[in-house]
Amino acid sequence: MIKEVEVDPDGSLTRRWGSRADDVRVKRTMAALEANGITVLRASDAAAAKRIVLDLIPGASPVHQGASQTLDVLGITYEIEKSGRYAALRPRIWSMDRETEAHEIRRLGAAPDVMLGSVHAVTETGSLLAASMSGSQLGP
């Protein structure tokens, strides 16, 4: 049985976490990320974020992406899978026969030239948090 769970019944999560961080907090977090060896590229809006991501991917590269609402909403998934500029692995993997092509599916998913995903949280101490029930969003 599947039961729908109301995520924020009293609104307390939205009140606490539903607002944007101010610029001071963002800059402090960026500095902490960079101190931890993570390169930070900050986009001014969704279109800029999409352009930044796509410009980082060499043309014709084999690209795999984990399930990500962020990639979907920004239109990155569509560009990867439909533009023809990249060798999109996810549609190829999903079209393969699990019984007869299992080895090839594992090979393709384990070693793409580019793996895209998103994180669920960025902390002010410069950590990234990613969670996945199956691990499929995390990549190799």
The one-letter amino acid at 113: D
What's the burial of 106, exposed, middle or buried (CB within 10 Å: 0-12/13-18/19+)?
A: exposed
On whether residue 112 sits in a domain, the answer given is: yes
Give the C-alpha separation, 80 to 54, whole Å: 8
Say if 98 falls within a structural domain: yes
Residue 17 included in any domain: no
- Kindly state whether residue 85 falls inside one of the protein's structural domains: yes
- Strand extents, DSSP E, 22-125: 62-65, 87-88, 114-116, 121-122
Range of the domain at 61: 43-140
Q: Does residue 103 fall inside a structural domain?
A: yes
pLDDT tens by residue, 95-135: 999 999 999 998 888 889 999 988 888 999 999 998 877 77
12 lies in a domain? no
How many domains does the chain contain in total?
Answer: 1
Within a domain: 14: no
Convert the pLDDT of each residue in 13-57 to its tens digit. Answer: 787 777 888 999 999 999 999 999 999 999 999 999 999 999 999
Q: Are 42 and 27 in contact (CB under 8 A)?
A: no
- Report pLDDT digits (tens) over 68-92: 889 999 999 999 999 999 999 999 9
What local confidence, expressed as pLDDT, does residue 84 receive?
Answer: 95
Using CA of residue 104, residue 106, residue 111, residue 112, what is the dihedral sign? positive
Tell me whether residue 138 is in a domain: yes
